[in-house]
């Protein structure tokens, strides 16, 4: 775990980010539903309908990519406040293998680059998520704009 203050000057390329581990259950997947309009039924989907999901690409329910992105964000917030995503920051996630109920995924990452552009102090991070079997389930890239 990092013990030094996190600033643009103290961060070094290659520094490891604190890891983050999270377990997934069908209940947490169901709880992450986004309800847009309470007057309509929620359509059958691969996240919350096990019978429907059996026939789909993943042969079972899986969490939503946006939920996994929230987990990556939680990992990053151990060092960086959410405001570091503002003013040019961003987060991109690519799923490689499904994140299923019963899985425990550990996200790890490192500082991939740091630079100054147009008066902004920018840090790029690379993140990987592995399940309990050691199988990669996804990768992410984050760009953060630090406010020293």
93 CB neighbour count, 10 Å cutoff = 19
pLDDT in tens, 118-136: 999 999 999 999 999 999 9
33 in a structural domain: no
Q: Which structural domain range is residue 105 located in?
A: 16-24+63-146
Q: How far is CA 129 from the centre of its chain?
A: 8
43 in a structural domain: no
Under DSSP, the state recorded for 84 is: G
For residue 75, the domain's CATH number is 3.10.129.10
pTM: 0.83
Kindly report the backbone phi and psi dihedral angles of residue 31, in degrees, each rounded to the nearest multiple of 5, phi listed first: -70, -15
pLDDT in tens, 10-63: 999 999 999 999 999 888 877 776 555 566 666 666 667 777 667 766 777 788
């Amino acid at each position: 775990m990092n013990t030094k203050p996190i600033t643009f000057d103290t961060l070094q390329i290659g520094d490891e980010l604190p890891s983050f581990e999270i377990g997934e259950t069908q209940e947490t997947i169901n709880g992450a539903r986004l309800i847009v309009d309470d007057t309509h039924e929620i359509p059958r989907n691969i996240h919350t309908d096990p019978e429907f999901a059996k026939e789909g690409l993943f042969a079972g329910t899986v969490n939503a990519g946006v939920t996994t992105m929230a987990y990556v964000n939680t990992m990053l917030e151990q060092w960086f406040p959410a405001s570091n995503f503002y003013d040019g920051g961003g987060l991109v996630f690519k799923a490689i293998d499904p994140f299923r109920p019963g899985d425990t995924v550990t996200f790890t990452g490192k500082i991939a680059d740091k630079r100054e552009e147009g008066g902004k102090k920018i840090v790029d991070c690379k993140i990987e998520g592995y399940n309990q079997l050691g199988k990669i389930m996804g990768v992410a890239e984050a760009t953060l704009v630090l406010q020293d």
